Amino acid sequence: MPSSTSSFERPIPDRPWGRLLTITLILVTCATIAWEVRARAVGYAPTLNDTPDLWAQQRGKVRPDSLVIVGDSRPLFDLDLDGLESGLGRRPIQLALPGSCAFPVLADLAADPTYRGTVICSIVPLMFFAPGGPLVENSEKALKRYHRWTLAQRSGHALGVLLEEHIAFLKQEDLTLNQLLQQLPIPNRPYAGVGPPLPPYFQTMDRERRTRMTEACAQPGPLQDRVKHGWLPLFTPPPPPSYVPKEAFLESMGKAVEKRFRDTVDAVKKIEGRGGRVVFVRFPVSGKLKEHEDRMTPRAGPWTRLLADTGAPGIYFEDFPELASYELPEWSHLSGPQSVEFTARLVPHLKQALAR
């Protein structure tokens, strides 16, 4: 009598499986090569994606006396790690995150009882004092990956880095199916509250998260214009929700900003109490974006109070002609050659600030 399992057996069709496998591999290989050629033809090149894994890997390198950079995308583009190491005597660890609020990372360092190093913290007031939303979430996502980084995630990251260093089309922010679909010219619905699109690929990054602006963005052209004119909507806070009275909304925002001031003072005091230092830096900004930021958050506001409340030293680029003389290609970041020169000019001011 046949077993109960034999009735469920299905015969394997007699097909030329070897030939089908070969044809499939050839088609996949040709499609992959074609997509790679297409990506390179439109300006992409092999470079690492700035993933939470890459950030977590760098965060894991922080030692008690490390020199650490935290903040938004400006110190990511504007600071040359070789120049800082040459001028300050220590290799910095780059923890700045594009489109993020620096405070959660600063607070994470302050919460580490062993950390007594030096923090270079970028301040863009509209971003640093964001009480919540995507800016804070981006930092918290990176911190979550660091504190809960699994072996499987580490292994996947190691493989991903090897592939990204050689394949141009592996751009998670641009060339995935989801991102390509988002580029379809579909008009936004009224009152949908959808944020403006993020800037396209315009930088390269290595394993230390050293970031350089691409030549296509550093020079006048369509890419530079697209990036440049995308900043203003990104730096414009969304309107209050219609279901919350304006007075109540402003009161809530005011309380959140006050809490951020208090929490920042606490973080700085913790680091300084262990013998560490924090220096705040306002990196260059130009063009219409500078006008917008100066109007939204004048220097006499958050920046001045931050230094007064924390007692930490600060470097404001406009105070020094050699730091304020740059015309930024897309208003918000320095080009690669500019970043090397800017870092060399910044180092003496950092030394003076840290010697206080």
Query: b or e along 224-235 (b: 16 or more beta carbons within 10 Å of the residue's beta carbon)?
Result: beebbebbeeeb
Q: So what CATH class is 52-181+199-354?
A: alpha beta
Given a contact cutoff of 8 angstroms between Cβ atoms, the answer to whether 315 and 122 are in contact is no
Q: For the chain, where are the E strands, in sequence order?
A: 67-70, 93-94, 118-122, 203-205, 211-213, 277-282, 314-316
Whole-number percent of the chain with pLDDT over 70: 90
Residue with tokens 């394993």, as numbered in its chain: 207
The pLDDT tens digits of the residues spanning 288-318 come to 999 999 999 999 999 999 999 999 999 999 9
The pLDDT tens digits of the residues spanning 135-174 come to 999 999 999 999 999 999 999 999 988 988 888 888 767 7
| All structural domains of the chain with their residue ranges | 52-181+199-354
As a whole number of angstroms, the distance between CA 269 and CA 273 comes to: 6
**Does residue 81 surpass a pLDDT of 80?**
yes
Q: Which of 338, 44, 72 is nearest to 202 (CA)?
A: 44
Instruction: Please tell me whether the overall predicted TM-score, pTM, comes out greater than 0.75 for this model.
Output: yes
